[in-house]
């Protein structure tokens, strides 16, 4: 079922989400300071291309509060707009019964966009 959901997702906009996150990641990787944030955009691109069947888990890292600081910087300098965009699309898709699975995937992307550092996808 996740294969069919991913095919429908790609046809109706997932490919555009993928390319937008890839482009954003490449632009962020042009500077040394932006490389960690660009890597997070590549993580979004993977989930944005085929979100059905992907699990997002918290990682127990030994970096201390660095991931928290990076998440705060991420949220202030652009992450909030990604969160709000996925929230809006999630709510719009959940209006219809057919769109609920796609709305739930946008909520999954919203959760990842809120704090991407310290999370892994599997």
Say if CB 110 and CB 86 are below 8 A apart. yes
Say if CB 83 and CB 114 are below 8 A apart. yes
Q: What is the reported pLDDT for 66?
A: 84
pLDDT tens across 59-97, in order? 866 666 888 899 999 999 888 999 999 999 999 999 999
Q: What is the reported pLDDT for 62?
A: 63
**Residue 7 contacts by C-beta under 8 Å, 6 or more apart in sequence?**
none
The H-or-E segment that residue 68 falls in is helix 66-74
Q: What is the reported pLDDT for 75?
A: 92
Q: What percent of the chain has pLDDT over 70?
A: 96
Phi, psi of 116 (to 5 degrees): -75, -25
């Amino acid at each position: 079922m996740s294969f069919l959901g991913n095919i429908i997702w790609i046809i109706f906009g997932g490919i555009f989400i993928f390319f937008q996150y890839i482009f954003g990641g490449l632009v962020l990787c042009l500077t040394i300071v932006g490389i960690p944030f660009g890597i997070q955009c590549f993580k979004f691109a993977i989930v944005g291309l085929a979100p059905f069947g992907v699990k997002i888990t918290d990682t127990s890292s030994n970096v201390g509060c660095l991931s928290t600081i990076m998440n705060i910087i991420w949220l202030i300098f652009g992450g909030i707009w990604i969160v709000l965009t996925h929230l809006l699309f999630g709510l719009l898709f959940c209006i219809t019964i057919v769109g609920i699975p796609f709305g739930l995937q946008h909520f999954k992307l919203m959760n990842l966009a809120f704090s991407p550092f310290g999370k892994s996808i599997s």
